[in-house]
């Protein structure tokens, strides 16, 4: 995992710890009369690993969409690394070090694995509009190869994304999120649909990420979520229901009743 230890502009910030990586204040998003999330406040320190739990419809993915700018909150503010990005388009937030993966893989069926990862590296670099092909020895091509290796996709690097297996597509999702110099990654159910062996591999990838990279993870698999997270936020009906350390949350009878009840319902 040494390839992921790229020098991050935030490493100094992380040690100071003065500025939150992510700060939500009273974020609400209405769909018609329904509040998908209501008055959510949340602070994630630089390098912190946070799990967001909650039953289906608790507003977890809407929360992610508000953070990335895929949808705009009806009210409330979103701050990234101290900067108010509430009205910023997604690409501006990405250029500030935010990344995300999607619950249902959102990839490029017509491109190869190598091209996809290369584009992800390019997206946050300058010259993303370049009309010139990369020269041999372009550092981004090296970086692309390293990332593909890091998610164990090297044998499939020249295959079209549409030809990949489900598990490989999930791995590619993670490679795309790790490209560039991420400081905060949002993982939306990365373990969904993976085999037990693939889950163990995922946990290993997540726990060995460089310390300066923080992440927020939505995960239905409590085993995965509580193993990789240092803190937990529990959402219920679009509101923050509980916050605490993983073992506190796990042992909380109220949470247990709600979460298990909701998951089966």
Partner 1 sequence: MAVAARTRSTLAATGRAAADPGIEAPWFARIPTGVWLVGAVLLTMPAYANNFVLFQVFGWSFILGIIALSLMFLAGYGGMVSLIQMTVAGLAGYMVAILGPSGTEQISLGLSWWIYLPVALAVATLFGTLVGTLAVRTEGIYTIMITLAIASAFFYFTRQNYTIFNGYNGFTLVRPPDLFGVDWRQPVPFYYLSLACAALCYAAVVYVARAPFGLALQGIRDNARRMAALGYNVTAHRILAYGFASVLAAVGGVLLVWQNGQIAPGTAGIPAVIDILVIAVVGGLRRPIGPFIGALIYVVLSSFAPDILTAFGLEPDRFKLIVGLGFLAAVFFSPDGVLGLWDRWQARRARRPDPLTGKVP
- The C-alpha atoms of residue 54 and residue 48 are separated, in whole angstroms, by 19
Q: Does 144 bind partner 1 (CB under 8 A)?
A: yes
Q: Does 64 bind partner 1 (CB under 8 A)?
A: no
Give min distance, CB of 22 to partner 1, in A. 16
| Greatest Cα-to-Cα distance within the chain, rounded to the nearest angstrom | 60
Size of the site for partner 1 (CB under 8 A): 47
Q: Does 103 bind partner 1 (CB under 8 A)?
A: no
**What is the Cα gyration radius of the chain?**
18
- Residue 233 pairs with which residues in a beta bridge? 52, 243
- The C-alpha atoms of residue 172 and residue 111 are separated, in whole angstroms, by 12
Q: How far is CA 251 from CA 48, 94, 185, in A?
A: 22, 36, 27
Question: At a CB cut-off of 8 Å and minimum separation 6, what does 124 contact?
Answer: 94, 95, 179, 180, 181
Minimum CB distance to partner 1 smaller for 188 or for 219: 188
Q: Which of 79, 157, 220, 242 binds partner 1 (CB under 8 A)?
A: 157
Give min distance, CB of 153 to partner 1, in A. 12
Give which of 203, 34, 177 is closest to 94, Cα–Cα. Answer: 177
Q: Does 126 bind partner 1 (CB under 8 A)?
A: no
Q: Does 50 bind partner 1 (CB under 8 A)?
A: no
Q: Which of 3, 30, 111, 192 binds partner 1 (CB under 8 A)?
A: 111
Contact residues for partner 1 (CB under 8 A)? 68, 70, 89-91, 94-95, 99-100, 102, 106-112, 114-116, 118-120, 122-124, 127-134, 136-138, 141-142, 144-145, 157-158, 160, 176, 179-180
């Amino acid at each position: 995992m040494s390839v992921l230890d790229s020098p991050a502009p935030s490493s100094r910030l992380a040690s100071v710890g003065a500025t939150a990586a992510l700060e939500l204040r009273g974020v609400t998003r209405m769909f018609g009369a329904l509040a998908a999330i209501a008055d959510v406040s949340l602070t994630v320190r630089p390098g912190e690993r946070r799990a967001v739990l909650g039953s289906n419809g608790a507003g977890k993915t809407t929360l992610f969409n508000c953070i990335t700018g895929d949808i705009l909150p009806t009210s409330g503010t979103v701050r990234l690394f101290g900067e108010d990005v509430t009205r910023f388009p997604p690409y501006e937030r990405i250029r500030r070090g935010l990344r995300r993966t999607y619950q249902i893989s959102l990839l490029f069926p017509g491109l190869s694995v190598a091209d996809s990862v290369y584009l992800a590296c390019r997206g946050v670099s300058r010259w993303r509009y370049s009309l010139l092909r990369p020269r041999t020895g372009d550092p981004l091509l090296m970086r692309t190869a390293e990332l593909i290796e890091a998610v164990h996709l090297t044998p499939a690097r020249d295959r079209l994304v549409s030809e990949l297996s489900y598990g490989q597509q999930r791995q590619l999702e993670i490679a795309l999120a790790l490209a560039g110099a991420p400081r905060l990654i949002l993982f939306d159910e990365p373990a969904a649909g993976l085999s037990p062996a693939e889950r163990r591999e995922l946990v290993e990838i997540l726990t060995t990420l460089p310390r300066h990279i923080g992440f927020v993870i939505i995960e239905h698999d409590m085993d995965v979520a509580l193993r990789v997270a240092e803190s937990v936020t529990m959402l219920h009906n679009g509101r923050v229901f509980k916050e605490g350390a993983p073992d506190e949350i796990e042992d909380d009878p109220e949470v247990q009743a709600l979460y298990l009840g909701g998951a089966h319902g």
